[in-house]
Chain A
Amino acid sequence: MERELKYIDIVEQPISMHPKKFALWLFMVTVVMLFAAWTSAYIVRQAEGNWLEYDLPEIFWFTSGVVVLSSAFLQWAYYSAKKDNMTNVRIGMVITVILGAVFLVGQWYSWVALVDREVFFVGNPAGSFLYVITGMHALHLISGLIFLIIVLISSFRLKVHSQSMNTMEMATTYWHFLGGLWLYLFMFLLLNH
Chain B
Amino acid sequence: MATATVAHHEAASHDHHDHEHHDNFITKYIFTQDHKMIGKQFLVTGIFWAIIGGFLSILFRLQLGFPDMNLEFLRPLLGGWIDESGKLDPTFYLALVTMHGTIMVFFVLTAGLSGTFSNFLIPLQIGARDMASGFMNMLSYWFFFLSSVIMFISLFIKTGPAGGGWVVYPPLSALEQAIPGSGLGMTLWLVAMTFFIASSLLGGINYITTVINLRTKGMSFSRLPLTIWAFFLTAVIGLLSFPVLFAAALLLVFDRSFGTSFYLSDIYVAGEALPNTGGSAVLYQHLFWFLGHPEVYIVLLPALGITSEVIATNSRKPIFGYKAMIISMLGITILSFIVWAHHMFVSGMNPFLGSIFMFLTLIIAVPSAVKVFNYLTTLWRGNLVFTPGMLFSIGLVSFFISGGLTGIFLGNSAIDIQLHDTYFVVAHFHLVMGSASFFGLMAGVYHWFPKMFGRMMDARLGYVHFWLTFTGVYLVFFPMHYIGIAGFPRRYYSWTNFEFSNMYTDLNMFVSVAAIITFAAQFIFLFNFFYSMYRGRKATLNPWRSNTLEWTTPLHPGHGNWPGEIPTVYRWPYDYSKPGAAEDFIPQTVPLSQTPESNLPHEQELVKMELEIMKDEEQVLVANESKH
User: What is the interface of chain A, defined by CB distance below 8 A to chain B?
Assistant: 1, 3-8, 10-15, 17, 19-20, 22-23, 26-27, 29-31, 33-34, 36-38, 41, 44-45, 48, 50-52, 121-126, 128-129, 132, 136
Contacts and interface: CB of A to CB of B under 8 A. Distances in A.
A41 B213 CA distance: 35
Contact of A19 (B133, B246, B278, B283): B133
B518 to A, nearest CB: 38
Contacts of A15: 212-213
B542 interface: no
B384 interface: no
Contacts of A23: 132-133, 136, 205-206, 209
Interface of B: 16-17, 132-133, 136, 201, 204-206, 208-210, 212-217, 219, 239-244, 246-248, 250-251, 254, 258-262, 277-280, 283, 286-287, 290, 563-566, 620-621, 624-625, 628
6 pairs of A and B residues whose beta carbons are closest in the complex:
A37-B247, A33-B243, A4-B564, A19-B132, A37-B244, A34-B243
A10 B624 contact: yes
B625 A3 contact: yes
Contact of A1 (B219, B563, B624, B625): B563
B247 A125 contact: no
A26 B16 CA distance: 29
Nearest to A31: B243
B209 A29 contact: no
B444 to A, nearest CB: 25
Given A50-B277, A125-B262, A128-B254, A17 B243 contact: no
Interface residues of B, dominant DSSP = helix
Contacts of A44: 280, 283, 286
B552 to A, nearest CB: 14
A11 B247 contact: no
Contacts of B286: 41, 44
Contacts of A37: 243-244, 247-248, 287, 290
B244 A128 contact: no
Nearest to A37: B247
Contacts of B214: 13-14, 19
B260 A122 contact: yes
Contacts of B566: 8, 11
B244 A19 contact: no
Contact of A122 (B204, B241, B258, B565): B258
B132 A123 contact: no
A192 B503 CA distance: 55
A45 B243 CA distance: 19
B133 A128 contact: no
Contact of A29 (B17, B239, B248): B239
A27 B205 contact: yes
Most buried by B among A5, A23, A34: A23
A18 to B, nearest CB: 8
A11 B287 CA distance: 44
Contact of A50 (B201, B240, B278): B278
Contacts of B260: 121-123, 125, 128
Given A37-B243, A128-B262, A14 B215 contact: yes
B287 A41 contact: yes
Contacts of A10: 620, 624
A30 to B, nearest CB: 5
Contact of A17 (B213, B215, B240, B279): B213
B17 A1 contact: yes
A6 B132 contact: no
Contacts of B216: 11
A19 B136 CA distance: 12
Given A125-B262, A128-B260, A7 B244 contact: no
A126 B205 CA distance: 33
A129 B287 CA distance: 15
Contacts of B564: 1, 4-5
A34 B565 contact: no
Given A1-B563, A22-B213, A41-B247, A6 B625 contact: yes
Nearest to B207: A26
